[in-house]
Structure 1
C-alpha cells in the first residue's frame, strides 16, 4: 500500500495494523515526509514521522531534541510540551543526554516532540512499545481526547489497533 492510497485522511485517529514486515513503518515514513515521494505520489502536507529511538542524537538532551523539532513546526505547543514532560515523568531526565536514557525514556522524548508538534498529520510508529504502564495510559488518554479533533490526524501503526481507542479508520496491511 502507498501513502496516496490512504489519502484523504480523516481527522482523528487512524490505525494501521499488520504483522512484522508488511510495511507499516514505510507507510508512516512516506506519510510523514521522511521518504522521498515516488514519481506521481504527492507528499502529505504538514506531516511528521520520527524514529522513536532517536538514532544519531545520543549526545543531545531532550530540550535540544525538541528545540530542533520546533524549528520545523510552526504550530508547536509549548504548554502541551510541558504538560507531557510532567505527565510522562521526564523532568528528572531533562539534563541527561539521550545516551543515558532507557529505551522507554528516549521514546517518551520523541513522543513529546510528535504530540507537541502541531503537525496536521502525526505518525506514531508502535508508540506503546517500551513504555511503562503509566506512560502508556498517558498516551492512550491523549489519543482518546484527540480522536474528535476537527483537523488533526494521528496515524498509529502497530500490530493491532488498541480496542480502547475510538478509531475513525482502520487499515489492515496484508
Structure 2
C-alpha cells in the first residue's frame, strides 16, 4: 500500500501548531522512520495517519486511491504498536494475538491459522499459552507486533516501539524488529527519537523539527549529505567548528584547516570519527576527558574552537587528561552548511 499525505497539519484549539503543513509519501513495503526530538510533531503526525487525531481543514490522507482523511480509526485497517504495548494482562499470548481477529468476526479456523502463523514468524510458539505478565520485555514487544500484524493491516504504525526496554535489550531487539518487518513485507512507519534505531531499521528516515519534515532520505544520505545544521547535529552528532573562513582556509583558535570549497557564509561541521589525533596535525588542543568505549576511546579536546570537540581514537593507548595533542581532519570530511539553515 502507498501512503500519501498532502498539506497535512494540526493546530490545537489554543493555537499551538503541533504540525505545520506536511507532505509525505511512503511506498508499498517501505519502512519509514519519523525521527526527531521531543515535541517536534512526529507522534502527532503518526496519530493523524492512524485516525487518532483530526487534522486541520485542507489536509488529505490517501491510502492508495482511497482518501481516508474523514475515516474513523477502526475503518482505516491500520495496525498499531504502542510504547506501552497495551497488551491484555488477563489473556494468554495466543488470546492477545487473536483478539483483533475475533473483533473482525472471522471464522475460528481462520483465526487459529493466522495466530499460529504469526506465532511462528515471531518465534513465540513456546509462549503461546503463557500469561503476558510472565513474559520479558522483549517477548512482550514481539507479542505486541504479532497482534498488530495478525489482522493483515494496510499499514503498520509503531510509536517508540523499543523505548520501554532496557538498554541491553534494545540493540538486539532493534535488529530483530528490522528482520521481522521485512519478513512481513508490510508498509510501516515508526516514530523514534533514537537516531541509531532509525538508521538501523528504516529504509528511509524523515527528520522532523518544530512541526515539519526538514529532510527525508536514506540513512546514508542523511548522514553523508545533511542539508541543514540541525540534521547534521541530530543525525551523527556533527560538531560545529567556529572560526573565520578566508576562501578555502578556516582559521580556528587551535590552528587552520583547508576547506573543500569556499567557506564564505557557511558553518563548518565535522564528526568525531573524522578528527584524527596525530603527532604532526595542524590543529592543537588540550585533552579534557577520555572515555574508554571498548573498541575505541572518545577523547574530548578544548582549545581548537569555541566549544570542545571530540575525537574517536582507535589507538591502543589514549592520551591523558591535561595532555596537549595535535589533530588533523581530511578536507573531504568537513561539511559546509548555510549558517541560516539551522531550524532547531
Correspondence list, 1:151-166, <5 A: 152-159=186-193, 160=195, 162-165=198-201
8 Å contact kept, 1:47–1:121: yes
Contact 2:78 2:154 in 1 (8 A): yes
Do the aligned partners of 2:79 and 2:157 also contact (CA within 8 Å) in 1?
Answer: yes
Root-mean-square deviation (Å):
3.5
Write the distance in 1 (CA, Å) between the matches of 2:174 and 2:118: 12
Segment drifting more, 90-99 vs 135-144: 135-144
**Cα deviation 1:32-75 (Å, max 9, x = unaligned):** 23x1424535157332323253336211212222222223498x
Q: Does 1:37 pair with 2:54?
A: yes
1:58 to 89, 94, 98: 89
Q: Which has the higher strand share?
A: 2
1:9 match? 26
- Hey, what's the Cα distance between the residues in 1 that align with 2:206 and 2:171? 26
Number of residue pairs aligned between Structure 1 and Structure 2: 167
Give the equivalent residue in structure 2 for 1:69.
Answer: 100
Q: CA deviation at 1:28?
A: 2.0
Q: TM-score, normalised by structure 1?
A: 0.71
Shift of 1:109: 0.4
Distance 1:22 1:61, change over 3 A: farther
Q: 1 CA distance for matches of 2:104 and 2:45?
A: 21
State yes or no: 1:91 paired with 2:122: no
2:153 to 108, 114, 119: 119
Contiguous gaps of at least 5 residues in structure 2: 1-8, 11-18, 60-68, 210-344
How far apart are residue 111 of structure 1 and its match? Answer: 0.7
* Residues 80 and 116, structure 1, Cα contact 8 Å, conserved in 2: yes
> Hey, what's the Cα distance between the residues in 2 that align with 1:22 and 1:107?
25
Task: Check the 8 A contact 1:57/1:98 in 2, yes or no.
Answer: yes
Aligned to 1:22: 40
Higher helix share: 1
Query: Which structure has the higher relative contact order (CA within 8 Å, separation 6+)?
Result: 1
Unmatched runs of 5 consecutive residues or more in structure 1: none
Q: Larger radius of gyration, structure 1 or 2? A: 2
Shift of 1:93: 2.2
Residue 17 of structure 1 contacts residue 24 of structure 1 at CA under 8 Å; is this kept in 2? Answer: yes
Instruction: Report deviation, 1:96.
Output: 2.1
9-18 or 20-29, which deviates more: 20-29
